[in-house]
Structure 1
């Protein structure tokens, strides 16, 4: 029954590929297949345990692993045997039916094609993607590196550099009975800097709002205590509580229940004034990295928008404006809203593709 054995191996290799597409880059087929071979490939629990032991190297990966395993092998109970005819095969973007069953995930023939497909997706305009590509894009957000920006804290910690710690140095001298010893040093410990997302969900931002919310969710998961997320439409809505859900789809669904003004109009100046009055001056924006995600179309008073961005700039450590049109050929920030705000913006960046959105995260981390 060599063909049956080969089908089993192909299914396991496909599962590893699905994990890698979902963001578990450390997953490789060799150890997993060897571990399953020592157990019972028909028993769902054996396959599940073998995969957890060989494919995950971080506890944070387990929710992703569980979700992909349930989707790949079905919802049968643990310990039940799997019916090979009911296994669902999901293929990463760029792989056809023949590719999905052609050996290990490290095959030289597959790697260039897969890398090329992902590279093309990374640089395509989010608004131009079809439904399948949007699903692939949504999975790719989970793999983006996200680090909170750091600031120098007030507390110090022992260090090999920095200023001399007189107290510790004196105690060390006493412990040595007065004999000369090393000069012990200390430096101020870094602390996460707050990040505030202000995301425009008006009608003109409809093709991009989902991607910006997923980006904010990725940022929040990296530093939940120092990240705040708001949407701006006809009203300002704080959606931070909804983003505590680890699964991005569930988090965005919960956020959608909080936001009453999807795809409507927006008055950015009024929304920033509402943010400043209720949140900004009370400490949320003080010393923070503030990321405004908007195309800059202002239906209200452009002068008010300029004044509010200037006030926000005085409170914040850095103001970054991510505009989905910034990276398109021929774009100039001449619209009344963005033109009024630009003098108080530290950096105007593109935000129309996966690659440019990843740069927004990196820019925030370095701020």
Structure 2
């Protein structure tokens, strides 16, 4: 006997359809839509591992999936691991389930703070009509210009706008194979799961189990030169480092280079950018001092890099290459770093200028041991750096 009461949406895989006039309706089997939703969250950067997804499905079994509020909270309480996950969860929920926003569904939403850029030429209140349109056009134009401006030549007003723009960056970390295995339809034979299936089947190898290696984020290490020659860029580069740290705190390390090496990773893990910068500034005792790149890189490798931080990591050195110490030592330590790391990138703010030649003493000896020399003088070049790190 046929059953025509199971699906009221007219087809599709989504679990909830918000187009009905009297509220959300639910398909007979919402599981495919929920699995796709968790996959979308994983693509958005949420840590939706199998334990959280299992808890989510258990919660869904105990609620009325026809109620958008209950479905929203079931996912929010099981799939979100950090307050920074909430804006991405809200956006994915609104996009996946019927296209209506969480606010339209009457749900409490923690909205992500977006950068609101005012025109750099002045402020105006109360504009309407053509004036408002012109104001928005000027603001958009100013933002594009600011993205390509040299970080060392910005005015105070432009620096304030740039701080807001930094918060719009969304770093994506490269992946590497882990030693842990995950079940798969093909790959290497999984003896443990195969033997368990044999025992359950009375000793007969009825089904072979396979496994593949898992993937996890590759560690990223940022070495930021804060010497006197890098002073115009140091603040912006540390703010950039704060954005990267906040995106993946467990897999990002930040050190400052000068006359000494300082680890500022813990300070930059604070959520508020200004507090993070104050904490990092208090930890760095040699800000705007001299430069001993070779000695500081050696200390990094001896104390942290050789022991694991640099192994198979993406290491990014932010420096103009001016070395007051022994350049031969810098060359030796960069060769040592290259043997340990997966990728070594050198970001020089002056490399983006027309006619630049890498003739500085530090750059000349380090360049043979660097995978790529990049510019880092503007927000646009830092965005390109994030793409290089992602593709490493």
CA displacement at 1:128 relative to structure 2: 1.6
CA displacement at 1:116 relative to structure 2: 2.4
Residues 1-367 of structure 1 correspond to what in structure 2 (within 5 A)? 53=108, 56=111, 61=112, 64=113, 92-94=118-120, 97-98=123-124, 101-102=127-128, 112-165=137-190, 167-168=192-193, 184-367=209-392
Aligned residues: 294
Name the SS for the 2:350 alignment partner: coil
Q: Distance in 2 between matches of 1:211 and 1:98?
A: 28
Q: Given that residues 322 and 363 in structure 2 are in contact (C-alpha distance below 8 angstroms), is that contact kept between their aligned partners in structure 1?
A: yes
CA displacement at 1:108 relative to structure 2: 6.9
Deviations 1:265-284 (A, max 9, x none): 11111111121222221222
Deviates more, 1:265-274 or 1:92-101: 92-101
More contact order relative to length (CA 8 Å, sep ≥ 6): 1
Q: Distance in 1 between matches of 2:279 and 2:235?
A: 13
Name the SS for the 2:355 alignment partner: coil
Name the SS for the 1:198 alignment partner: strand
Q: Distance in 2 between matches of 1:239 and 1:151?
A: 25
Q: Distance in 1 between matches of 2:207 and 2:134?
A: 58
Deviations 1:233-258 (A, max 9, x none): 11111111211211111101111111
Q: Distance in 2 between matches of 1:148 and 1:175?
A: 41
CA displacement at 1:101 relative to structure 2: 4.6
Q: Distance in 2 between matches of 1:180 and 1:95?
A: 75
Q: Distance in 1 between matches of 2:200 and 2:312?
A: 42
CA displacement at 1:225 relative to structure 2: 1.3
Name the SS for the 2:346 alignment partner: strand
Q: Given that residues 236 and 275 in structure 1 are in contact (C-alpha distance below 8 angstroms), is that contact kept between their aligned partners in structure 2?
A: yes
Structure with greater helix share of residues: 1
Give me the CA root mean square deviation: 3.2
Q: Distance in 1 between matches of 2:377 and 2:284?
A: 23
Q: Distance in 1 between matches of 2:279 and 2:126?
A: 34
Q: Following TM superposition, where does structure 1 have runs of at least 4 consecutive aligned residues deviating by more than 4 angstroms?
A: 23-26, 94-101, 107-112, 169-184
CA displacement at 1:355 relative to structure 2: 0.8
Decide whether aligned partners of structure 1 residues 183 and 269 sit closer, same or farther in structure 2, where only a CA change above 3 A counts: same
Q: Given that residues 216 and 229 in structure 1 are in contact (C-alpha distance below 8 angstroms), is that contact kept between their aligned partners in structure 2?
A: yes
CA displacement at 1:92 relative to structure 2: 2.4
Decide whether aligned partners of structure 1 residues 241 and 366 sit closer, same or farther in structure 2, where only a CA change above 3 A counts: same
Q: Given that residues 119 and 138 in structure 2 are in contact (C-alpha distance below 8 angstroms), is that contact kept between their aligned partners in structure 1?
A: no
Name the SS for the 2:345 alignment partner: strand
Name the SS for the 1:279 alignment partner: helix
Deviates more, 1:154-163 or 1:325-334: 154-163
Name the SS for the 1:53 alignment partner: coil
Q: Distance in 2 between matches of 1:125 and 1:100?
A: 33
Q: Distance in 2 between matches of 1:143 and 1:181?
A: 53
